[in-house]
Structure 1
Amino acid sequence: MGTPSAYDAVILAGGSATRMGGVDKPAIVIAGRSMLGAALDAVAGSERVVVVGPHRDGLASAIAQTQESPVGGGPVLAMDAGLRALGGGAAQVVVLAADLPFLSSASIEGLVAALDLEPGAPAAFALDESGRVQFLLGVWRRDALAARLDEIGRADLANRPMKTLIPAGYLTVPMTGISDCDTEADVAAARSRTTSPAVGLAEARRAARDAIEMLPARVATPLTALGGVLARPMLAAGALPRLDTSAMDGYAVSGDGPWHLDKAIRYAGSEDEVELEPGHAVRIATGAHVPSGATAVVRDEHVELANATLSRRPDAPVRNDTRRRGEDWQPGAPLAEAGVRVTEAVASVALSGEVAELLVRGPATAHVVVTGDEIRRDGPLRTGQTRDSLGPLMPRFLSWCGIHTAAESHLRDTAGGFDELLAQPVSGAAARPDLIVIVGATGGGAADHLRLALARSGAHLVVGRVRCRPGGSQVVAVLPDGRVVLGLPGNPYAAVATLLMTAPTVVSALTGAPAPTPQIAPIENAGELAADAPRVVTATQRADGRWYAAVPAGTAHLAALIGAHALAIIEPATPDGGSAELLPLPR
């Protein structure tokens, strides 16, 4: 991808936060460093840095400090003050707020590199996991920023909303780990994250399998067991075929022939007894049991009939079209091993083998919860609302992963809403879902209360962060009563990507099925899409069998999945033609 261009940095560290009781927000310590310290670490590769805000002792002498005037005049005025303090310098200027405790230098370099690739774009801004553009985390072309400030008017910048400054044609770069802290709840959520550092996807899957206990085994008929997983081998209870039967329409014969054709006809399901004398034959249908005394079944096309005499054609092969009793299997023969999912084929074989009961685990059942005050499924949208474009489809996606949807609900963004949801149900274990699949509330933002509620419930946080995007904020936890919580990002594309990469492992742990084997394939253009963290993108297999990936045009919807065959997880530094894990999409 090349070395990103040189850049300068403006850090907005405006001191007191009214939404947090007037505390000095940039000085708040999370994970052992202040949020201002996190910002400075993230722009360590810059040519020059200026911090806009009250003077702070202890900063390195190379870091310039300035203050907007009037103090507290808003981010647009602060950006102008920072740009003035920089004077001339690098052609690109990174602007960020000092309230991003987990920001990394890789994220900054990714923004700069994105702007390098689009010479005509005036700026590039981070796009967080919820699909929100973070305008206070971006990189500007210096001349574009100066021009926008001049257009507004330098004397009229105080208390201007950021949207008045944003130019047309800007880029967005999807990123994880860029949650900001605007409230005390945000700070608490951010501090809770420090106990769950991001892990690789393979490690997350191993942790889930180790932490999740298998469901108890239950006895079920073959049809009611569909979707479950065999807890013990499935053994044949009867032979197949049960009797010697005809494999073809033809004649049951006794001896070498020619044969005298008797008037009796053997139909499938006939219960009458027929004794075939040597040198005799009877008409027989496919599936009919062979009469006693028969030595073979000869198909129609291999014989000729003259009056009542049946003889083999001179050019016909000598063969026997009898299916012998137990030819497919004998009683007690293994038909399917433990750990095999009970599909329609398995259930059909059980019926063929006279197996009346199976011992199975699952299928796993889920309560699907869509979160967010802004989400509306039915009726006209009101101001600020968003159509629920994922919730109604979640049962289909879950079914693809082997999960049966037992209940659905919507949860508003309230601090205590999750506590009731996560509380141990009063109904018996047989009635409760095995999983709670939550869409949204995983990012640690102001309205994202899931992590704190899990901590209050005494849940074991198995997976708190995963190094990938999207899907980095995913959550896997086990409640004290054994139910599993699978937290998905609220962004529809991120939610589906997370579900497909993690749910099959959760299901295998619950049901005792073998761990899913990753499907690996070379991606012809992988080098174009590799980033600083594993990236989950759509992939299509073309007519020649080769796989090509594409960056989703938007992640707030599922348009990128139309026509795609799979999602591909492209690791950092993967070259063109390098291998990636494929997550097949539902068909």
Structure 2
Amino acid sequence: MTTVDAIVLAGGRASRMGGVDKPAIMVGGRSMLDAALAAVGDCARIVVVGPRRPELDARIEQVREVPPGSGPVAAIGSGLRALGPNAAPWIVVLAADLPFLTEDTVGELSRHATESTADAVFAIDASGRPQYLVGIWRRAALESALGQLDSLVNQPMKAIMPTETAVLELPGTSDCDTEEQVHSARVTMAADRTAARLNLTEARELIVSGLTPLAAHDAEFGEVTGAALAAPIHAAGALPRFDVSAMDGYAVRGDGPWRLRRDIGFAGGARPAGLLSGEAVRIATGAHVPDGTTSVLRDEFAAITGDELSRRPDTPIRGDVRRSGEDRRVGDLIAPAGTPVTAALRSAAASVEVTAGLVRGPVRARIVMTGDEIRSTGPLQAGQTRDSIGPVLPDLLTRLGVQILDTVHLRDSAHGFDDMLTATDGFDLLVVVGATGGGAADQLRTALARTEARVLVPRLALRPGGSTIVAELPTSPTVLGLPGNPFAAIAVLLALTPAIVAGRTAAPAPRRVLGPLHNAAEIAGPVQRITPARYAPEGGWLGDAVVRTAHLAGLIDRDGLVIVPADATDATIVEFLPLPA
């Protein structure tokens, strides 16, 4: 919509809600102001009228109506003045109290306006009520209407209504003026999200972008495997610190032949005395070369006769000296914020005298096994089954960068989860196995609703694993609800945990391993599937067309899992999830 600008009204008194900052109220995981800004995201310019909000994108212009709280007409006037004489011919005007507003709503208004002769087009909500703060105006008509008023302060919207208007019934245009309406919107949004099923790509994107990052803290890198940098790290020392020999051989000065001295330079030992022209000294890899060294002659290139050193015929001339700072100078960037703390990062940082920094994480997890029928130790009683998932989860999660705090067993009861979802001090991730379906004993979803958790992934469009749920508790821990089915639980765990770790540590989304699945047509169905696979001799993978999901025997002698798109054909490029060793 390059010919449309937008004015978003984000001020007002919110008198019926006790004067709260209404545009900042969260509904469905985002503020009502964010909903309005997303709806006008394709507009050429956007002006937000209201109190200054530092978190907004710098491309969004911010102004304040004068005086503050002087009504929508005054706010529209301030927004139009901010757009200036080069404003677009059409102006969208939106109030930031419409949580269900979408880009399609604004698009429909724009299309209808440009096809009609009206000076303004307004939306009608589901009750048939015109929403004069969900509309699009001809700029000239809006300027004219505002210009006819002696004062814009505390004027009703009808004071600027043009003679020729049109209305359009559109979904998503119900506003929230009271606490009851906000609560109703949240319930509706939660119900809509609960019914949705996301594929793995959609789920991961929401997890990485939607989870609240952990607080940053200073830590020794060797103690926080699985964390990610919260700030970039820079070299505190040069690498190499001084000029060192890159090979075992002889430090020489000049072109040779050279007089060989008796002393030797060892790595970590005393630096040999400086070389005179035509001198050489035996030196080891990593040793500090003496002053005056022009190059190091490798052992395999050297010929010695008595005290004379010379270069063997037909051998190349090389420097073989690593000069101070040639790899890193003081202040050089070693790794940017978001980089996971791995063995490679620890080593690279230590080599330039950096052993600690600001990090987020590691993610600390509690594992919750559910079900009265599950028994981990001791003899099985009638109706019981052995816990075949709990014993392997800690090892798998650890290898995925998660720090395990403990594993607990939760009996089936109507309110069994309530205490666990509210007493959340000390952990960042709650991994729940079972209780995610819709059965009588599956209580996780209702317990999450009671805590007003923010659901990011309500269900997956995936077989197996469809009943998976990912949510964030008001106290910030993430809840990963896995199906009780053993194979489904492990498959979803491997597919989603890296995204959860990235989201909580503010690291980039993990890169995917892709390649051809040679027998995809044999496996694919109407929805995305996940199944064990082994490496194919020619590269790529061969997946298992049939897998028994009630146990993990299907993972024996398999290299990983493949995520198979719906209706895939042979040689389709698929994602591969390697099994941790």
Distance 2:566 2:284 in 1: 64
Is the contact made by 1:552 and 1:560 (CA closer than 8 Å) also made in structure 2? Answer: no
Aligned with 2:498 (options 477, 483, 504):
504
Distance 2:192 2:489 in 1: 20
Matches within 5 A, 1:426-505: 432-505=426-499
Is the contact made by 1:304 and 1:311 (CA closer than 8 Å) also made in structure 2? Answer: yes
SS in 2 for 1:366: strand
Deviation larger for 192-201 or 436-445: 192-201
> 2:123 corresponds to which residue?
none
- Cα distance, 1:194 vs structure 2: 8.1
Matches within 5 A, 1:268-417: 268-272=267-271, 274-417=273-416
Which AA in structure 1 matches 2:346? A
> 1:169 corresponds to which residue?
none
- Cα distance, 1:439 vs structure 2: 0.5
Is the contact made by 1:266 and 1:284 (CA closer than 8 Å) also made in structure 2? Answer: yes
1:231 aligns with 2:230: yes
SS in 2 for 1:223: helix
Distance 1:222 1:377 in 2: 35
Q: Report the TM-score, using the length of structure 1 for normalisation.
A: 0.64
SS in 2 for 1:347: helix
> 1:46 corresponds to which residue?
none
> 2:246 corresponds to which residue?
247
- Cα distance, 1:195 vs structure 2: 4.1
Is the contact made by 1:424 and 1:481 (CA closer than 8 Å) also made in structure 2? Answer: no
- Cα distance, 1:406 vs structure 2: 1.5
Is the contact made by 1:196 and 1:463 (CA closer than 8 Å) also made in structure 2? Answer: no
1:581 aligns with 2:580: no
> 1:212 corresponds to which residue?
211
- Cα distance, 1:517 vs structure 2: 3.2
1:347-386: CA deviation from partner (whole Å, max 9, x where unpaired):
1111111113222111211101111111111122111111
Distance 1:583 1:234 in 2: 31
1:532 aligns with 2:526: yes
SS in 2 for 1:248: coil
Give the percent of matched residue pairs that are identical in Structure 1 and Structure 2: 49
- Cα distance, 1:550 vs structure 2: 1.1
Distance 1:322 1:516 in 2: 38
> Structure 1 367/500 Cα, relative in aligned 2: closer, same or farther at 3 Å?
same
1:322-361: CA deviation from partner (whole Å, max 9, x where unpaired):
1111122111122222222111111111111111322211
SS in 1 for 2:576: strand
Matches within 5 A, 1:414-425: 414-425=413-424
Is the contact made by 2:374 and 2:385 (CA closer than 8 Å) also made in structure 1? Answer: yes
> Structure 1 517/318 Cα, relative in aligned 2: closer, same or farther at 3 Å?
closer
Distance 2:280 2:216 in 1: 52
Is the contact made by 1:538 and 1:552 (CA closer than 8 Å) also made in structure 2? Answer: no
- Cα distance, 1:501 vs structure 2: 1.9
- Cα distance, 1:226 vs structure 2: 2.1
> 1:222 corresponds to which residue?
221
Q: Report the TM-score, using the length of structure 2 for normalisation.
A: 0.65
Distance 2:408 2:480 in 1: 15
Is the contact made by 1:226 and 1:347 (CA closer than 8 Å) also made in structure 2? Answer: no
- Cα distance, 1:276 vs structure 2: 1.8
> 2:537 corresponds to which residue?
543
Give the gaps of 5 or more residues in structure 2.
Answer: 1-189
Which AA in structure 2 matches 1:233? P
Which AA in structure 2 matches 1:550? D
SS in 2 for 1:409: strand
SS in 1 for 2:350: helix
> Structure 1 388/250 Cα, relative in aligned 2: closer, same or farther at 3 Å?
same
Distance 1:317 1:210 in 2: 54
Distance 1:562 1:202 in 2: 27
Is the contact made by 1:229 and 1:511 (CA closer than 8 Å) also made in structure 2? Answer: yes
Distance 1:420 1:221 in 2: 34
Distance 1:227 1:558 in 2: 26
- Cα distance, 1:297 vs structure 2: 1.4
Distance 1:262 1:195 in 2: 80
Distance 1:219 1:278 in 2: 51
Distance 2:325 2:298 in 1: 21
SS in 1 for 2:496: helix
> 1:266 corresponds to which residue?
265
- Cα distance, 1:453 vs structure 2: 0.9
Is the contact made by 2:531 and 2:547 (CA closer than 8 Å) also made in structure 1? Answer: no
Distance 1:220 1:247 in 2: 33
Is the contact made by 2:230 and 2:358 (CA closer than 8 Å) also made in structure 1? Answer: yes
Is the contact made by 1:370 and 1:438 (CA closer than 8 Å) also made in structure 2? Answer: yes
SS in 1 for 2:407: strand
- Cα distance, 1:281 vs structure 2: 1.6
Distance 1:225 1:200 in 2: 32
Is the contact made by 2:193 and 2:458 (CA closer than 8 Å) also made in structure 1? Answer: no
Is the contact made by 2:527 and 2:567 (CA closer than 8 Å) also made in structure 1? Answer: no
1:518 aligns with 2:518: no
1:105-136: CA deviation from partner (whole Å, max 9, x where unpaired):
xxxxxxxxxxxxxxxxxxxxxxxxxxxxxxxx
SS in 2 for 1:314: coil
- Cα distance, 1:192 vs structure 2: 6.8
> Structure 1 409/317 Cα, relative in aligned 2: closer, same or farther at 3 Å?
same
- Cα distance, 1:313 vs structure 2: 2.2
Distance 2:561 2:316 in 1: 53
Deviation larger for 206-215 or 446-455: 206-215
> Structure 1 330/414 Cα, relative in aligned 2: closer, same or farther at 3 Å?
same
Which AA in structure 1 matches 2:289? V
- Cα distance, 1:583 vs structure 2: 2.2
> Structure 1 194/341 Cα, relative in aligned 2: closer, same or farther at 3 Å?
closer
Matches within 5 A, 1:30-45: none
> 2:201 corresponds to which residue?
202
- Cα distance, 1:460 vs structure 2: 1.5
